[in-house]
Structure 1
């Protein structure tokens, strides 16, 4: 694939996804092509551990539409090597187009099995590195928003920006995060939140800080409408961990698992636009410009399409 051009009037920027995930590796070129044809012009692809950073780097080199992100996800902090931080710095330094991510905190069903103090230590190190290199960071947070805000207040503010990916926090916390430089990115997981709560939260998000994402191959919207499902290739590994899956780590996932197609970001867009009572086209352009501004740091040349 030679470029990212598309003639469609509506353009989208997928602010967070995992297209390097081995569950979709065999069909990734088709997924990217179909998404671009639908108007998704850019993809922020997030690494989760030392085991997949090289895959993200390769993808960034192969596809001009991909913005690579390198980070150590909280689920994998116990698997880090003694040299992980130096390696992360090297990847980011060697890839001036790269952001930091996916990093964060997790007290959910999976994260509770990982010592929280270790999560915090690794998270703070990566936040400091993002500030030092003046790169935005993509942040995962599950049931730890109070801890997250406290840490961000101690380490921040973040003039290069933060992405609160798949944000499901409260409306009341939005102003505090926004004050520190946060952007709020919404995925299909938002459809699982009570609609009144989601609407109240969305209305408090500053218009210049709203983003949309697919979180593919996870984040399949919980809606009855027709959705694109990733065609499973016979060579694709099964039994891989869902949601930010380690590309080399086997876990208990059904072979019949429905994986999220990145083009389903249109469903997310439609859902958020409905909540905000905005035309889809207006929200698409707003989020595209917000993401373009966020990722336009030193080293990244952004070419406006259309």
Structure 2
């Protein structure tokens, strides 16, 4: 069986937390060896830490996501550093900048200030950082240039930036991680951008429970009890053997994504790159292993 590494997900999310052990087991049964689980605020870092202690396959990541910048406490950065001191196996994330519909509601200069602090911390700790960026790639590139390069790596998670910026980010130590969100881009644009990413810098992720791949419904894993699912699908949490032609675009936007659906991301990216699934799985797995093999990492113990 091919081995896969989910380079970015949120298995501590309150929508799926109670089902996490079953989700991890199902994904492992389908070849997923590791899950980089990203905290987003002071309120969930303890959940990520606990999950990593209970599941050898979970790589903990701690960070303050731009959407939660306004709610941070005065001691947030001190608390964050304490989590890294107490958890040598942790990477940095999810951090970033956002000028999208949600991000526009949060002061951008504050987002940049918080991101700068966390990128400088990642560099100081010699750990990779998982970065969220929506409609702010120019700002992110300038910030990374002012702090970088980043020998330990920066993961541009669910990358949807331009093909032209790939070499610029690569020079600074960036890796490019792809999720089901890639399917929202026009095929030609996605293909052009993917072809610019060097094979030693490509990663795959699910961003579960978000970013459900827009694949044929029969090829997807669903999360048991997901109330957004239509009645006829709700009882089927594993891929079906029937041949429905319906794709996931017909499902409600809030439909939850299962971490085993990284297989669908693999299939899609491999098809655009015109390489075999096996080749892409091996490349992306080895890239993730290398990236997450910092001092104290769980990957070094596997």
Shift of 1:93: 1.4
User: Which of residues 131, 154, 161 is equivalent to 2:153?
Assistant: 161
The CA distance in 1 between the partners of 2:212 and 2:253, in whole Å, is 14
Shift of 1:224: 3.2
Shift of 1:302: 2.4
Matched, 1:270 2:267: yes
Name the SS of the counterpart of 2:206 in structure 1.
coil
Shift of 1:303: 5.5
Change (3 A) 1:278 1:225: farther
The CA distance in 2 between the partners of 1:232 and 1:19, in whole Å, is 16
Shift of 1:33: 0.2
User: Which of residues 255, 259, 263 is equivalent to 1:258?
Assistant: 255
C-alpha contact (below 8 Å) 1:27/1:233 kept by paired residues: no
The CA distance in 2 between the partners of 1:303 and 1:90, in whole Å, is 22
Question: Which residue in 1 is equivalent to 2:225?
Answer: 232
Shift of 1:223: 2.8
The CA distance in 2 between the partners of 1:79 and 1:158, in whole Å, is 28
Which structure has greater helix proportion? Answer: 2
C-alpha contact (below 8 Å) 2:95/2:115 kept by paired residues: yes
Shift of 1:257: 3.2
The CA distance in 1 between the partners of 2:173 and 2:226, in whole Å, is 41
User: Which of residues 207, 210, 214 is equivalent to 1:218?
Assistant: 210
Change (3 A) 1:256 1:67: same
Name the SS of the counterpart of 2:8 in structure 1.
strand
Shift of 1:27: 1.1
Instruction: Give the alignment's TM-score, normalised by structure 1.
Output: 0.88
Bigger mean CA offset, 25-34 vs 46-55: 25-34
CA RMSD of aligned residues (A): 1.6
Name the SS of the counterpart of 1:101 in structure 2.
strand
Structure 2 residues not aligned, in runs of 5+: 228-250
Change (3 A) 1:258 1:292: same
Bigger mean CA offset, 164-173 vs 221-230: 221-230
C-alpha contact (below 8 Å) 1:57/1:68 kept by paired residues: yes
Shift of 1:63: 0.3
Question: Which residue in 2 is equivalent to 1:28?
Answer: 20
How do residues 44-59 of structure 1 correspond to structure 2 at under 5 angstroms?
44-59=36-51
Shift of 1:17: 0.0
The CA distance in 2 between the partners of 1:144 and 1:112, in whole Å, is 11
Question: Which residue in 1 is equivalent to 2:174?
Answer: 182
How do residues 7-156 of structure 1 correspond to structure 2 at under 5 angstroms?
9-156=1-148
Structure 1 residues not aligned, in runs of 5+: 1-8, 235-253
Instruction: Give the alignment's TM-score, normalised by structure 2.
Output: 0.89
Question: Which residue in 1 is equivalent to 2:242?
Answer: none
Query: Greater RCO between the two (CA within 8 Å, min separation 6)?
Result: 1
Shift of 1:186: 0.0
The CA distance in 2 between the partners of 1:256 and 1:283, in whole Å, is 28
Matched, 1:281 2:281: no
Shift of 1:102: 0.1
Shift of 1:301: 4.1
